[in-house]
């Protein structure tokens, strides 16, 4: 028997009846999975419990936690929908059914796998909490993956975690979850690299921390001398898989990676963040090109912080992240914190832009995939459009457009509006005319020049990266009459 109190203690808000209802849900789950065992030999309900506990850590609401306890009960356990609805209400049943409909990924080749993904996005578009339960479920599954006897199965589950679930967590702004999923999956997918990077980190960490501690002491003196109060600091060490990916980008040159360990400064207000930045930059010389203000310009997944890297003066280089307490919480569990509070009708309150943006993102994904019949192509597009590293560029008015790496003005134009894409005649980046196949860089301001008679040509297909642009271009060049220039 697990201790339900552990879950209750993690919950932010608890109405008078909540404890008793969650307790009951646990008993119902235990009964539904009676006699069933996990690969690890544990009773099955341990998995239900841990999934619910993860949801409590993410800051989710009561109904989601109950659905977490019951998430496998309909499919694998001995219980009916009627009982769930009678005992816990429509909302919980909807969530449990949502997760059940996604089905267990049975790993019978790409086709099934892709079908599950498609289902997942459709369910998610209806209620984001279904995806979050799935992520909580996956986190426990990957942590207990050692229990699987079959090596090939282990690898497949881990690979899928790296390629699909971790990027999804990232898109939802759930940075801590993303990191945990990746680091748990890493050794199963790339065992050799895992060992190598782990060694490298161990070697480097010590030296890095020496500089950091010394710098930290001087910084605290400096901040106190400038009258800064309520400043919390801590270190964060780069996660293994994240370091591995960065090493690959930097040709395995560890000397080029400055954030193996970084210093985190947490202050009460946004104003304090800029004050701290000013104090640091007046006392230590920053490395050019490494100052990133994600407070004024948050990442599309909602992440906010100021990053800078300075020379410590004694041969060291340290990265510093400055943020408020609110941003710090948000960086760990992102969108989940927006879904946590219940509205009056038991529906999650739609709070803040982050929620809307993410739902829009999933809507776009489904829309994009509607016309794709080849399952292999679906998966490729999915990886290409949504999980590749992104560049963030701006319209002349300052709106952020989020595109996959190596996107061009053609992609930008179609991301803004298909009409703009279809009538593009040229493009400016940061005020200069450029070729339409120019690769966009983070922070570019992109302006599309249109003209009435402008029209896509098949050459644009090579100059574009996104499915959205390519589909629009194909549509436009196939439309009759375009060769004669009629519109």
Residue ranges in 372-401 that form contacts with Mn ion under rule CB under 5 A: none
Instruction: Look at the block and give the residue holding tokens 């969530």.
Output: 95
Residue ranges in 354-373 that form contacts with Mn ion under rule CB under 5 A: none
Kindly tell me which of 104 and 441 has the beta carbon lying closer to Mn ion: 104
Distance in angstroms (rounded) separating the CA atoms of residues 109 and 113: 7
Per-residue binding letters, 84-103, with Mn ion (x by CB under 5 A): --------------------
Per-residue binding letters, 52-81, with Mn ion (x by CB under 5 A): --------------------x---------
Write the DSSP string, 84-141.
HHHHH-HHHHHHHHHHHHH------HHHHHHHHHHHHHHHHHH-HHHHHHHHHHHHHH
Active site residue 75: yes
- Say if residues 150 and 117 touch (Cβ distance below 8 Å): no
Kindly tell me which of 137 and 330 has the beta carbon lying closer to Mn ion: 137
Give the binding range for Mn ion (CB under 5 A) out of 21-29, 130-138, 143-151, 229-237: 130-138
Q: To the nearest whole angstrom, how small is the minimum distance from the Cβ of residue 446 to Mn ion?
A: 44
**Secondary structure letter of residue 406 according to DSSP:** T
Distance in angstroms (rounded) separating the CA atoms of residues 223 and 279: 7
What are the tokens at 215? 């710098």
Give the binding range for Mn ion (CB under 5 A) out of 132-140, 154-162, 167-175, 317-325: 132-140
Q: To the nearest whole angstrom, how small is the minimum distance from the Cβ of residue 131 to Mn ion?
A: 14
Burial of 203 (0-12, 13-18, 19+ CB in 10 A): exposed
| Catalytic member of 18, 42, 76, 85 | 76
Distance in angstroms (rounded) separating the CA atoms of residues 378 and 386: 12
SS3 of 270, please? Answer: helix
| Catalytic member of 75, 380, 406, 462 | 75
Q: To the nearest whole angstrom, how small is the minimum distance from the Cβ of residue 358 to Mn ion?
A: 23
Instruction: Look at the block and give the residue holding tokens 């050794």.
Output: 187
Neighbours of 117 (CB within 10 A): 21
Kindly tell me which of 64 and 324 has the beta carbon lying closer to Mn ion: 64
Active site residue 377: no
Kindly tell me which of 97 and 375 has the beta carbon lying closer to Mn ion: 97
Name every residue whose Cβ is closer than 8 Å to that of residue 428 and which is 6 or more positions away in sequence: 434, 446, 447, 449
Residue nearest to Mn ion (CB): 137
Which backbone phi and psi does 220 adopt, to 5 degrees?
-60, -40
Kindly tell me which of 137 and 447 has the beta carbon lying closer to Mn ion: 137
Count of residues binding Mn ion (CB under 5 A)?
2
259 binds Mn ion (CB under 5 A): no
Q: To the nearest whole angstrom, how small is the minimum distance from the Cβ of residue 107 to Mn ion?
A: 15
User: Nearest Cα to 303, choosing from 340, 358, 351?
Assistant: 358
Q: To the nearest whole angstrom, how small is the minimum distance from the Cβ of residue 85 to Mn ion?
A: 21
Distance in angstroms (rounded) separating the CA atoms of residues 11 and 23: 14
Distance in angstroms (rounded) separating the CA atoms of residues 465 and 455: 18
Q: To the nearest whole angstrom, how small is the minimum distance from the Cβ of residue 164 to Mn ion?
A: 16
Q: To the nearest whole angstrom, how small is the minimum distance from the Cβ of residue 135 to Mn ion?
A: 11
Kindly tell me which of 140 and 465 has the beta carbon lying closer to Mn ion: 140
| Dihedral sign, Cα of residue 267, residue 271, residue 272, residue 274 | positive
Distance in angstroms (rounded) separating the CA atoms of residues 102 and 107: 13
User: Nearest Cα to 353, choosing from 326, 331, 341, 335?
Assistant: 335
Give the binding range for Mn ion (CB under 5 A) out of 135-143, 148-156, 281-289, 308-316: 135-143
- Say if residues 162 and 185 touch (Cβ distance below 8 Å): yes
CA distances from 440 to 290, 387, 420 (A): 18, 17, 17
| Interface with Mn ion (CB under 5 A), residue from 63, 137, 183, 411 | 137
Kindly tell me which of 30 and 137 has the beta carbon lying closer to Mn ion: 137
Kindly tell me which of 33 and 178 has the beta carbon lying closer to Mn ion: 33
Per-residue binding letters, 204-233, with Mn ion (x by CB under 5 A): ------------------------------
Q: To the nearest whole angstrom, how small is the minimum distance from the Cβ of residue 137 to Mn ion?
A: 4
| Dihedral sign, Cα of residue 368, residue 373, residue 376, residue 377 | negative
Residue ranges in 7-46 that form contacts with Mn ion under rule CB under 5 A: none
Which residues are the active-site residues?
75-76
Interacting residues toward Mn ion by CB under 5 A: 72, 137
């Amino acid at each position: 028997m697990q201790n339900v109190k552990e879950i209750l203690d993690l919950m932010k808000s608890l109405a008078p009846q909540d404890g008793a209802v969650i307790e009951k849900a646990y008993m119902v789950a235990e009964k539904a999975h009676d006699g069933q065992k996990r690969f690890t030999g544990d009773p099955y309900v341990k998995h239900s419990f841990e999934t619910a506990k993860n949801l409590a850590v993410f800051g989710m609401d009561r109904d989601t936690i109950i659905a977490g306890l019951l998430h496998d009960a309909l499919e694998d356990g001995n219980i009916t929908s009627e009982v769930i609805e009678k005992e816990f209400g429509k909302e919980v049943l909807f969530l449990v059914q949502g997760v059940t409909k996604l089905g267990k990924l049975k790993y019978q080749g790409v086709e099934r796998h892709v079908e599950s993904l498609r289902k997942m996005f459709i369910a998610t578009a209806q209620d984001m909490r279904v995806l979050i339960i799935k992520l909580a479920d996956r986190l426990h599954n990957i942590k207990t993956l050692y229990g699987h006897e079959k090596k090939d199965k282990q690898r497949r589950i881990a690979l899928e975690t790296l390629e699909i679930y971790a990027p999804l967590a990232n898109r939802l702004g759930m940075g801590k979850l993303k990191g945990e999923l990746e680091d748990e999956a890493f050794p199963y997918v790339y065992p050799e690299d895992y060992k190598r990077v782990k060694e490298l980190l161990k070697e480097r960490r010590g030296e890095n921390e020496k500089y950091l501690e010394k710098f930290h002491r001087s910084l605290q003196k400096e901040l106190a001398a400038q009258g800064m109060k309520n400043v919390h600091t801590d270190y964060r060490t780069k996660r293994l898989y994240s370091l591995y990916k960065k090493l690959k980008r930097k040709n395995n040159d560890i000397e080029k990676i400055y954030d193996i360990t970084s210093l985190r400064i947490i202050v009460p207000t946004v104003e304090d963040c800029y004050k701290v930045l000013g104090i640091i930059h007046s006392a230590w010389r920053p490395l050019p090109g490494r100052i990133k203000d994600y407070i004024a310009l948050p990442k599309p997944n909602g992440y906010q912080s100021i990053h800078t890297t300075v020379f410590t003066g004694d041969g060291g280089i340290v990265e510093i992240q400055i943020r408020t307490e609110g941003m710090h919480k948000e960086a760990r569990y992102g969108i989940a914190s927006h879904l946590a509070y219940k509205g009056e009708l038991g529906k999650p309150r739609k709070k803040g832009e982050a929620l809307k943006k993410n739902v829009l993102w999933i809507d776009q994904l489904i829309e994009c995939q509607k016309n794709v019949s080849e399952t292999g192509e679906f998966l490729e597009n999915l990886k290409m459009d949504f999980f590749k590293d992104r560049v963030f560029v701006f319209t002349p008015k300052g709106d952020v457009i989020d595109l996959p790496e190596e996107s061009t003005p053609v992609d930008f134009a179609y991301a803004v509006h298909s009409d703009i894409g279809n009538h593009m005649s040229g493009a400016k980046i940061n005020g200069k005319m450029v070729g339409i196949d120019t690769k966009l860089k983070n922070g570019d301001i992109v302006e599309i020049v249109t003209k009435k008679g402008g029209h896509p040509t098949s050459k644009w297909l090579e100059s574009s990266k996104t499915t959205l642009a390519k589909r629009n271009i194909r549509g436009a060049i196939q439309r009759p009459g375009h060769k004669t220039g009629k519109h």
